[in-house]
Amino acid sequence: MDVKIENSWKQQLAEEFDKPYFVTLTEFVRSEYSKKRIFPPGRLIFHAFDQSPFDNTRVVILGQDPYHGAGQAHGLCFSVPDGVEQPPSLKNIFLEIHNDLGIAIPQSGNLERWAAQGVLLLNATLTVQENLAGSHQNKGWEQFTDRVISVLSERKQHLVFLLWGSFAQRKGNLIDHSKHLVLSSPHPSPLSSYRGFFGNGHFRKTNEYLAQWSLPQIAW
């Protein structure tokens, strides 16, 4: 199957695209886009991969679903396009960066600038129906994105994985902790951020680890 995804990822994931689950998933997603309002726009389903090629990826942040409100999702977890109000979790991420590193809180919630530096902003499920959180879960996306995490763990070294909340932390068993840094904390959602997301120091710790291995740090 010819999937429109960045070339280095296409090579790394080539075996997945012809598996029965992915063929079934593709048929489901095409049907959904033809009948309903689905986010992100179809051309941005694999935006995280296009923005952060396999060879460039140094940090992985794992989300669950795309935003399901109009105009919010553009294929990068936690990110919103320029001009869209920052959702509460993203506001808390920026606040933690400010408290951790003293960086001013940005006006825009567009995280493409992180992706361009090698931060893979990966949702476990890559599509969602408008106003129906979780509507495309258990359709095959999780199997695909689990494979993405496994391929990164197996074929690269010295990555940083940021796992926020219990959902993301369950993916930790896909990662070789002996060759990568895995940082876990509560989710940045206002419902849980005060239980340990604030003060987790993940952004500073990420850059310290990258520097330890003589890798470029992230300009958060």
Instruction: List the Cα angle 220/168/133 in 5-degree steps.
Output: 95
Q: In b/e form, how buried is each residue of 125-158, taking b as 16+ CB within 10 angstroms? A: bbbbbeeeeebbeebbbbebbebbbebbbeebee
Task: Exactly one of 18, 65, 82, 146 is catalytic; name it.
Answer: 65
* Secondary structure (DSSP) of 97-146: HHHHH-PPPPS----HHHHTTTEEEEESS--EETTBTTTTTTSSHHHHHH
Q: Does residue 65 have an active-site annotation?
A: yes
* Residues assigned a catalytic role: 65
